[in-house]
Amino acid sequence: MKGIRWVILAIIVFASFIAYVLRTNLSIVSETMMRDLGMNEYQLGMVFSAFAAGYAIFQFPGGIVGDRFGPRLTITVMAVAWGLLTIATALIPGTNVWSVGAVVVALVIIRFLVGAVHAPFFPVTIGGTIASWFPVRQWGLPNGLSSTGLTLGAAATAPAIVWLMDLYGWRGALLATAPLAFVVAAVFRWYVTDDPKDHPHVSAAELALIRSDRSSEDDALERGAWKVALKNKNVLLLASSYFCMNYVFYLFFNWFFFYLVDVKGFAATDAGILTAALWILGAIGATAGGFINDLLVRRFGIGLGPRYLVMTALVLCAVFLYIGAVSNNVVVTVVMLCICFGCNQLTEAPFWVATMAVSGKHASVATGVLNTGGNIPGVVGGMLVPITANLLGWPAAIISGSVFAMIGAALWLFVHADEPMGIRESAKRPASTG
């Protein structure tokens, strides 16, 4: 078979799809679950923040684990844990057995663990598997498609979970999705290898293509890479800007469905359809972002290509988010918010490609730093959004995302993706990967 790397990518996209079904399902059942368990919005915000905390804290350690044990074993073990923790969430006792406080504590602990076992996925699959299986000049599209998998997973989750809740309740809806995790574990273990040369169906021609635009030094890992990544100016700037971009992402991830139902008065079925539409636009944005990034890298080089795309997309994101927040027309609000999210997802591929270009063979570690910065706003936003909404109103809570988007765009003025962080390297990478 030719093009085994594309089969590997398809498995990553599938795994990304399932990962987001299993992390987004709680946000869809949250309104029903909150009322069934006697919780309030602040307690629900704590549960959301617990996931984000585990996810953020274990990004960097997850990248180190992926470097140490390889993507194949790491993802297999992680996926099994996804399924077990989804089951545990569904089996939380009700308030007829436990107090509301005990229920909240249990949910916070479980969701923290869910975040922790999901955390290494993108540093390991993108910084590890994609970086190993694709030539540098093709990194953008696989990155975009892996993000497409997550957004399509989120899009499928909303209507599917609403339907399952109608049939089986919120607990049954969670239990119905849990087996998907075990499918991911089995497929990844069966077909994916950490190094293309170890796959029985990879041809010599494909292996030569994969290695065509990287130096032989990129095959050998160096000790102490995590220290260099934590000190590197470009990695830290990228992580800071990714923080700002993902503040907007988490506005949608945690609160969009809740906002439509609880604030705008949509029926759950209609909100599920609109949430699916939001994520589909995100999928289009993520795919387009990967494709456009590769074009810009070939045209302007790795130093400028990602910068142009991210800055443009984040400024547009801020504008559309502001219009949606201040509009009194519910149709305009929903349309603007959906377009904003599409612009937000245009930036996924260039963020990861720039970090991979800076870090080279240590991409799993550096992208762990990137995704740590990107997921801290899940902790911050989980509590800041409901507090801001209660104090200043929902328009102010949404506009806060516009502020972060503009800051994130400005930080890219100082990012130089063509400056490698290599431990021994002193020469810069070529300006273009094309």
**129-146, pLDDT tens digit by residue?**
888 888 877 778 887 888
Is residue 422 a part of any domain in this protein?
no
> What's residue 219's pLDDT?
47
The pLDDT mean for the chain works out to: 85
More confident residue, 345 or 381: 345
Is residue 235 a part of any domain in this protein?
yes
Phi, psi (rounded to 5 degrees) for 200: -65, -15
Confidence of residue 382 (pLDDT cuts 50, 70, 90): low
Q: What is the mean pLDDT of residues 118-137?
A: 83
If you count them, how many residues does the chain have? Answer: 434
Is pLDDT at 243 greater than 60 in this prediction? yes
Is pLDDT at 433 greater than 50 in this prediction? no
Task: Give the tens place of pLDDT for each residue, 163-202.
Answer: 999 999 999 999 999 999 999 999 999 999 988 989 999 8
Is residue 184 a part of any domain in this protein?
yes
Is pLDDT at 429 greater than 50 in this prediction? no
In Å, what is the CA distance from 262 to each residue of 141, 321, 394, 409, 427?
37, 19, 11, 32, 55
Is pLDDT at 232 greater than 60 in this prediction? yes
Is residue 229 a part of any domain in this protein?
yes
Task: Give the tens place of pLDDT for each residue, 153-168.
Answer: 877 887 889 899 999 9
Is residue 432 a part of any domain in this protein?
no
Is residue 349 a part of any domain in this protein?
yes
Confidence of residue 426 (pLDDT cuts 50, 70, 90): very low
CA angle 236, 238, 240 (to 5 degrees): 70
CA atoms within 13 A on the CB side of 167: 11
Confidence of residue 422 (pLDDT cuts 50, 70, 90): low
3-state secondary structure of 267: coil
Which residue in 410, 294, 408 sits closest to 354, CA to CA?
A: 294
The token duo for 193 is 């290898």
Long-range contacts of the stretch 76-80 (C-beta < 8 A, 24+): 76/185, 76/188, 76/189, 77/185, 78/117, 78/118, 78/120, 78/121, 79/15, 79/18, 79/181, 79/182, 79/184, 79/185, 79/188, 80/181, 80/182, 80/185
The token duo for 196 is 């293309």
Is pLDDT at 343 greater than 90 in this prediction? yes
Is the distance from CB of 20 to CB of 151 less than 8 angstroms?
A: yes
Task: Give the tens place of pLDDT for each residue, 54-88.
Answer: 887 888 788 788 878 888 999 999 999 999 999 99
Is pLDDT at 335 greater than 80 in this prediction? yes
More confident residue, 315 or 205: 315
Task: Give the tens place of pLDDT for each residue, 9-29.
Answer: 999 999 999 998 998 888 888
Is residue 60 a part of any domain in this protein?
yes
More confident residue, 221 or 245: 245
Confidence of residue 341 (pLDDT cuts 50, 70, 90): very high
3-state secondary structure of 174: helix
Confidence of residue 213 (pLDDT cuts 50, 70, 90): low
Compute how many other C-beta atoms are within 10 angstroms of the C-beta atom of residue 33. 24
> What's residue 224's pLDDT?
59
> What's residue 109's pLDDT?
95
Distance linking the first and last C-alpha atoms of the chain: 26
Task: Give the tens place of pLDDT for each residue, 261-302.
Answer: 888 888 878 887 888 888 888 889 988 998 899 899 888 988
> What's residue 428's pLDDT?
41
> What's residue 222's pLDDT?
57
The token duo for 391 is 């104090």
Is residue 172 a part of any domain in this protein?
yes
Considering the entire predicted model, what is its pTM? 0.74
The domain tally of the chain equals 1
Domain of 25 in residue numbering reads as 4-215+225-414
Measured CA to CA, the distance from residue 231 to residue 250 in angstroms comes to 27
Q: Report the CATH number that the domain containing residue 312 is assigned in CATH.
A: 1.20.1250.20
